[in-house]
Chains A and B, each alone.
Chain A
């Protein structure tokens, strides 16, 4: 639809016409601002915890475990230099041989969700699947945070310092 609109605008005499082909879906999925009726509906991006620990794929599991110990987090997201999510180290993977690299130990390609998904709907889906948390990324795979189901079931509870 937008290519047709862009051509139409040009036909109407506009000289600097752009077609944002990825559309508003792409914009909202990146967690960027929204206006309109849905803007007041809490989203995954609203309730995601932002301070989730991250590590590089070449880091040793033992070092990662030591680093996150006592922080209150039970997992670490493995990211590249662009903060694109590569994998996840849960308690199980963090208990691996300390000399193993994060890349070797990680759960590869964890399920991710976009920030614009309504938090309530996501919580329902997670409950059905028995999932307690999910990694939140932009459409480009860049880490946004970690959403816990318990947070989505009580949106905007900002009692935790990790909240945005």
Chain B
């Protein structure tokens, strides 16, 4: 079951190394702004092929833009 994570948790995982940030917003929104090092895989394109570049044994952190 995916775990919800807050900002400090994201920072900790990134500092530990290996964590992968996935921006699931449309590519236009990703181009405007994204977290450092994040890769863009829009939600509708999330499949086995597009996620092939991600390491399956390392943490994956998904984020978007619709919380506040």
Contacts and interface: CB of A to CB of B under 8 A. Distances in A.
A28 interface: yes
A2 B24 contact: yes
Which of B1, B2, B24 has the most chain A CB atoms inside 10 A of its CB?
Answer: B2
A90 B63 CA distance: 40
Contacts, number: 138
A24 interface: yes
A28 B32 CA distance: 13
Contact of A1 (B3, B13, B34, B64): B64
A4 B46 CA distance: 10
A3 interface: yes
B6 A19 contact: no
Nearest to A25: B68
A19 B7 contact: no
A38 to B, nearest CB: 4
Contact of A35 (B13, B35, B46, B66): B35
Report the contact-size class of chain B (Cβ under 8 Å from the partner): 35 or more
A28 B33 contact: yes
Judged by DSSP, the binding face of B is: loop
Interface stretch (A10-18, A45-53, A79-87, A146-154): A10-18
Contacts of A23: 63-68
Given A1-B64, A34-B34, A13 B56 contact: yes
Contact of A15 (B10, B38, B57): B57
B61 A18 contact: yes
A17 B60 contact: yes
Interface of A: 1-10, 12-30, 32-39
Given A26-B6, A36-B34, 13 more contacts: A12-B46, A12-B47, A17-B2, A18-B60, A20-B5, A22-B68, A23-B64, A24-B35, A26-B68, A27-B35, A30-B7, A33-B36, A37-B33
Interface of B: 1-7, 9-11, 13, 22-25, 30-38, 43, 46-48, 51, 54, 56-68
